[in-house]
Structure 1
Amino acid sequence: MQPIKFIFWLLPSILIPNYLSKDSDKNSVLFCYGKTKPETLKGYNYLFLEPLNYSKNDINLIRKSNKNVLAYISLGEVNSQAKHYKKLKNIVLGKNENWDSYYLDIKSKETQKILISLIDEAFEKGFEGMFLDNIDNYSQFGPQKTDKNELIEFIKLINKKYPNKIFIQNAGLEFLEKTHGLIDGVVVESVATNYSFLDKQYKLRNKAEFESYIKRINLLSDKFKMQFILVEYADNKLLYNKISNRLLKFKFKYFVGKIDLQTIPNFKK
């Protein structure tokens, strides 16, 4: 879920507002990596933000009206416009053309030091946890598959350093046997949908593929007893409705937005 970078660099104890029904609670999740007025962010169970877009005062205000407020960080890539790119550009491993980003060398102590500093900054602002993106880069088919052990060791490191914080990993389902005791939840993208980067088309996933995928997630959810959040992509109301109908009978919280994750979705047409 590598965020697109425009001007801004780009994923608990407050009660949920009474206006959230049981059904609306399922999708009371927002991923928004663009800069948004803090006072407009209200009523979310899970709120995933780009930390550089907000001050400490902003986060204090946001936390009063939302349950879990988490900061985005990628453990697999760095975008060319990110503030820490200059520090890492000589030790990256290659480029992801889809997102104009570069693969991190998680084995590097310098890389780890910079990532820790970003996490420190987010927690100093008042974020309650971190959304760990690009975990699937280290999976058996990912570009950083040879560094999967170093990734797991880094997650152990931050879990130990910040024992009272929330950590949610993006994908990397094959790592759950080793990471489930280190994290508090998992985000899984494109379960009901299948966005194409090749032709930039939003579409539903094949029904058989969807049923197989959701079955696997159900089994993992029951096995590890943790929160799973689904993230789907749509650009119109019709597709949004089809996604909602697919996910309605399942227990998972979900979010539906555009692929750039820059704005609060508004599917009115």
Structure 2
Amino acid sequence: MQHIKLFLCVLPSLLGFQAFAGSLQKPNVFFCYGKLNPIEIKGYDYVILESKHYNPSDIKKVKKLNGKVLAYISLGEVNSQSKHFNKLKDITLGKNENWDSYYLDLKSDSTSQVLFTEIDRMLADGYDGLFLDNIDNFTSFGFQKDQQSEVVGFIEKLNAKYPQHFILQNAGIELIDATHNFVDGVVVESVASNYTFPDNSYKLRDEKEYNEYLKKLNQLRKKYKFPIILVEYADSLALYNDIKKRISKTNFLYFIGSIDLQKFPLFND
């Protein structure tokens, strides 16, 4: 789950959102990296925000109106618009061409120091925890597959330093056996849906693939007993309804939004 310039919204049965034409059920998680009026974010169990858009006073308002409020941080990449980009840009490993972001080198002590400094700053603003993005970068087919021990070690240190904070891991289910003791939940993108970057296409995932994916996630949920949140992508009310029909019987928390959300989702056929 990457930033597209400013932001991206995603999470479990999630995101308090507006939808065109009718009575779409309001999700119970809100995940958004754009700048919003803090008092308009209300009624969610979980809220995930891009910290650069909010000050401690804003976070206090959001917390008063919601449950846990988490700050976004990527352990795999740094966006060119991030506050800490200038501190990392000279020690990155290359650019992710799908996004305006650069791959991080967790083998570098300097990278870890910058990330922990940024995390310290965000949590000092009053966030209840963190959303850790791009963990899939460290899996078998990821760009940083040779840094699996480093990312697991980083998350372990994070858990040790902030044991009372809620840590939500995005993707990287291949690493769950190693990280499950250090995180409180996992987000998985595009389970029922299947957005493809080359043609900017929104669609449903092949039914057989979907069922196999779902079976695997149910096994993980049973094994580790923590929440697994589905993040799905749609560009129309019709596709939104098709996705919701698929996953509504799974009992997974979920969010359905656009790939480049910068506000509350709005679907219009």
Q: Distance in 1 between matches of 2:158 and 2:25?
A: 33
Deviation of the 1:237 alpha carbon: 0.5
State whether residues 3 and 261 of structure 1, in contact with CA within 8 Å, keep that contact through their aligned partners in structure 2: no
Give the structure 1 partner of residue 219 of structure 2.
Answer: 219
Instruction: Give the counterpart letter for 2:40 in structure 1.
Output: T
Residue 212 of structure 2 is aligned to residue 209 of structure 1: no
Identity %: 53
Q: Secondary structure at the match of 2:48?
A: strand
Alignment of 1:165 with 2:160, yes or no, is: no
Gaps of 5+ in 1: 12-22
Q: Rate the CA distance shift 1:9–1:113 in 2: closer, same or farther, 3 A.
A: farther
Distance of aligned partners of 1:9 and 1:233 in 2 relative to their CA distance in 1, 3 Å threshold = closer
1:109 has 2:115 as partner:
no
Structure 1: distance between partners of 2:48 and 2:57: 17
* Contact 1:9 1:50 (8 Å CA) reproduced: no
Distance 1:144 1:43 in 2: 37
Instruction: Kindly provide the amino acid, as one letter, of the partner of residue 116 in structure 1.
Output: F
Contact 2:3 2:33 in 1 (8 A): yes
Inter-partner Cα distance in structure 2 for 1:264 and 1:79: 22
Aligned to 1:174: 174
In 2: Cα distance, 1:171 partner to 1:235 partner: 22
Give 5+ residue unaligned stretches, structure 2.
11-23
Q: Equivalent residues in 2 for 1:1-269 (5 A)? A: 1-6=1-6, 24=25, 27-269=27-269
Distance in 1 (CA, whole Å) between partners of 2:32 and 2:158 is: 24
Deviations 1:69-107 (A, max 9, x none): 110000000112222111111110111000021100011
Residues 10, 50 of structure 1: 8 Å contact kept: no
* Matched AA of 1:91: I
The 2-side partners of 1:116 and 1:167 are apart by 14
How far off its partner does 1:128 sit? Answer: 0.2
Asked if the contact 2:42/2:66 (under 8 Å) is kept, the reply is yes
| C-alpha distance after superposition, 1:115-147 (max 9, x if no partner) | 111111111111101000000000011010000
Taking the aligned partners of 2:114 and 2:137, their CA distance within structure 1 comes to 19
Q: Secondary structure at the match of 2:164?
A: coil
Following TM superposition, where does structure 1 have runs of at least 4 consecutive aligned residues deviating by more than 4 angstroms?
8-11
Instruction: Note the aligned Cα RMSD (angstroms).
Output: 1.6
- TM-score if structure 2 supplies the norm length? 0.92
The 8 Å contact of residues 45 and 67 in structure 1, kept in 2 or not, is answered as yes
SS of residue matched to 1:86? helix
Superposed CA deviations along residues 193-241 of structure 1, whole A, max 9, x for unmatched, are: 0101001111110111111101110110010000111000011100000
- Give the Cα separation in 2 of the matches to 1:85 and 1:5: 13
CA deviation string 1:41-95 (max 9, x = no partner): 0111111110111110110010111111110000000112222111111110111
SS in 2 for 1:90: helix
Structure 1-normalised TM-score?
0.92
Aligned-partner SS, 2:188: strand
Deviation, structure 1 residue 9:
10
